[in-house]
Structure 1
Amino acid sequence: MKKKPPPSPRLAAVAVMDPDLAGKDRDLLERAERHPRSYSEGETSVWWATVPRLVRPGAGVVGLAGGAWVTGEWQWYDTSAHDGRATASDVIGRKMQSVFDALHYAFTVAWPFGVGALVLAAAVYAKDAAARNRSARRLAELRDRCVRPVEMNDDARTLLARAQQAKRAVLTSAVHRFDLIDRQRNEVSLPRQEWEIAEALREYTRLVKAEPSNPKGGKVAALLDTRRRGLRASLGGITRRVNALESYAEQVAQADDRYRELQQIQALTDGSDDVLDLLARTARDDLAVAEIEGMTGEAAAVADAFTTALESAQEAAVIALPARTTA
């Protein structure tokens, strides 16, 4: 029994950001995507974000102040109550009093420093909370400048993943890296195409989800049918755009294959003189020379095929990446 081929891995779409975003805004959105929990709370009160973090250090400062007061008030040994006779209890009392005096001095010096550190910590925590609030406000303003896969239905996510795969295939190709195709145009137009496709798919999903699940009455059903035909036509237009990107990526992949083939043949023919000398010394027949010349001819044929593949990729780019007109 013939085995079925393993299923192809499911394409996974990723979030798309507006290519016109400033660098700081893009960094903020990327951090929010990587650490969603850190940015999910929105704006919070600076007071309530700061005070809970000061409870423990504040208790420590209170303890230092309390220790300074206790050690200053508690007298272990009173010299005025003795007539100068040195008894065993006097020796112990003086030692205990000296310990308490040292503790009192340490607490008296330490607790003001603790207060200063507490004030500094409060300022740092408050500044951090204010910065988080600014980031939360900016994220709210940038909400529509980033399209996330969770905002789309299954059909839209699949289309977006296909577009992103085509974009990656072009931008990671050898002919793109070595500027054998229009590298600058790719780096500008492909992110713009991806963003426009993502925006359209998000809007398509929003309109689909806005439809009533249980339409009541014939008029509502007729209106809903007309609406759905319009949405299908819109999705069809987006699909054609994605298909054009995939066609462009396929042409670039073919050019990549021809380019690698040409590189391999050139590497083989670079040493043709050495091979020819070796064959001339050993066989000294015209057949060896003909073989080397045949290799050179094959390299020329592959170079022609590579040129043709590049031209096909450029033609596909004209369809997939139409030039943007400015008013």
Structure 2
Amino acid sequence: MKKEPPPSPRLAAVTVRDPDLAEKDRDLLVRADRDPRSYPRGEVSVWWATAPYLLRPGLAVAGLGAGAWVTGAVEWYTPSPHDGGATVNDAFGRPVQELFDGLHSALLMAWPIGTAVLAFMGFAYAANAASRNKTARRLAELKDRCVQPSELNDDARTLLARAQQAKKAVRTSAVHRFDLIDRQHNDVALPRQEWEIAEALRKYTRMVKAEPSNPKGDKVAALLNTRRRALRASLDGITRRVEALESYAEQVAQADDRYRELQQIQTLTDGSDDVLDFLARTVRDDLAIAEIEGMTGEAAAVADAFTTALESAKEAAVIALPTRTTAA
């Protein structure tokens, strides 16, 4: 029984960020995407963010202050009013009073220090909360400069994944790495095309989600049908743009195949002298020469095919990656 081929893996879209973002903003979005728990999505009160961290230290400082007041306000020992020898009160009361006097002095020193440490902790936690609020505000400002796959519906997510797959195919090709198809232009134009496609797909998804799920009345239904036709036309335009990218990636893949084939032929023909020497020992010289000439002709044919493939890829690039013009 013939086995069925394994299903091809489903394309998965990834997050797209505006290529015009500053490097620090791009890094912030990447870090927030990788570790969302460490980056707040909204501002919080600096006081309420700081207070929980100061509760226990504040109670400790209050305890130090209360202890300093108690040990200083209460007289634990009063000398006995007589001229005789030491009494039990003198024998035990004086050491206890000295102990509390020493404790009072220590608490008088510790309480201001604890207060200063508490103030420093409050400042540090408040500064940290203010910094987190600043980061949260910046993330909110950058929200529209980043398109998450979760923001798109199924159709839009599939189109974005196709565009990203085409972009990846071009940028990982050998002819791109060796700058045989204008690598510099690709490195600028491909991220720009990906971002514009992602941004358009997000707008399309938002408009689709804004439609009423249960339209009431014929007029609403007619208006909704008109709106959906317009949205479908817009989606078709984005689809054609993605297909142009895929056509470009396909032409690049063909050029890549011809390039590798040409490399293999050149590797074989580089050793033609050795082949000629070997054949000359076993067959007539004219047969050996004809064999080598045939290999050389094959290399020339592949080189021509590679040139043709490169030209096709460049023509596809003109369609898929038009050069952006700026106003004078």
1:154 aligns with 2:154: yes
The change in CA–CA distance for 1:280 and 1:214 in structure 2 (over 3 A counts) is: closer
- Which residue identity lines up with residue 259 of structure 1 in the other structure? Y
Q: How does 1:149-188 map to 2 (within 5 A)?
A: 149-188=149-188
Larger CA deviation: 109-118 vs 253-262: 109-118
Between 51-60 and 174-183, the greater mean CA deviation after superposition: 51-60
Quote the offset at 1:179 in angstroms.
0.8
In the alignment, structure 1 residue 143 sits paired with structure 2 residue 143: yes
Q: Specify the alignment match of 1:260 in structure 2.
A: 260
Q: CA offsets, 1:120-141, max 9 Å, x none?
A: 3322221111111111112222
1:268 CA displacement = 3.0
C-alpha deviation, 1:46, in angstroms:
1.0
What does residue 194 of structure 2 align with?
Answer: 194
Name the amino acid aligned to 1:148: Q
**Distance (Å, rounded) in 2 between the aligned partners of 1:274 and 1:117:** 84
Q: Which secondary structure state, in structure 2, belongs to the residue aligned with residue 326 of structure 1?
A: coil
Is 1:283 aligned to residue 282 of structure 2? yes
Q: Does 1:250 align with 2:257?
A: no
User: Which whole-Å CA distance do the structure 1 matches of 2:247 and 2:308 have between them?
Assistant: 16
| One-letter amino acid matched to 2:125 | Y
**Letter matched to residue 118 of structure 1:** L
**1:96-111 alignment runs, 5 A limit:** none
Letter in 2 for 1:283: T
1:31 matched to 2:31: yes
Taking a change above 3 Å as real, the CA distance of residues 208 and 76 of structure 1, as seen in their structure-2 partners, is: same
Give the Cα separation in 2 of the matches to 1:126 and 1:214.
49
Q: Could you tell me which runs of 5 or more consecutive residues in structure 2 were left unpaired when the two chains were aligned.
A: none
With normalisation by structure 2, the TM-score equals: 0.83
Structure 2 equivalent of residue 48 of structure 1: 48
1:46, 1:187 → 2: CA distance? 43
Alignment partner, residue 326 of structure 1: 326
| Alpha-carbon distance in 2 for matches of 1:42, 1:78 | 62
1:80–1:17: structure 2 CA closer, same or farther, 3 Å change rule? Answer: farther
CA apart distance, 1:284: 6.7
Cα distance, 1:214–1:283 mapped onto 2, change above 3 Å: same
2:322 counterpart SS class: coil
CA distance in 2 between partners of 1:289 and 1:101 (Å): 114
Q: Which residue of 1 aligns with 2:222?
A: 222
Report the CA distance shift for 1:102/1:315 in structure 2 as closer, same or farther (over 3 A): farther
Q: TM-score, normalised by structure 1?
A: 0.83
Give the partner amino acid of 2:193.
Q
CA distance in structure 2 between the partners assigned to 1:115 and 1:264 by the alignment:
78
**Residues 13-52 of structure 1: per-residue CA shift (max 9 Å, x gap):** 1121122222222222222222223334400011111121
Deviation at 1:241, TM superposition (A): 0.5
- Shift of residue 75 of structure 1? 11
Task: Name structure 1 gaps, 5 residues minimum.
Answer: none
Deviation string for 1:81-122 (max 9, x for gaps)?
9x999xxxx8xx98x999989987776665554444333332
Larger deviation, residues 241-250 vs 70-79: 70-79
Identity %: 75
In the alignment, residue 311 of structure 1 is paired with which amino acid? Answer: E
Alignment root-mean-square deviation, CA:
3.4
Indicate if the aligned counterparts of 2:19 and 2:191 stay in contact, CA closer than 8 A. yes
1:166-198 residue CA offsets vs partner (Å, 9 max, x unmatched): 111111212111111111111111111111111
CA separation in 2, counterparts of 1:275 and 1:103?
Answer: 101
* 2-structure distance, mates of 1:291, 1:63: 100
Asked whether the equivalents of residues 280 and 288 of structure 2 are also in contact (C-alpha less than 8 Å), the reply is no
| Letter of the 2:282 counterpart | A
Measure the CA separation in 1 of the matches of 2:291 and 2:57.
85
| Residue type of the alignment partner of 1:130 | A
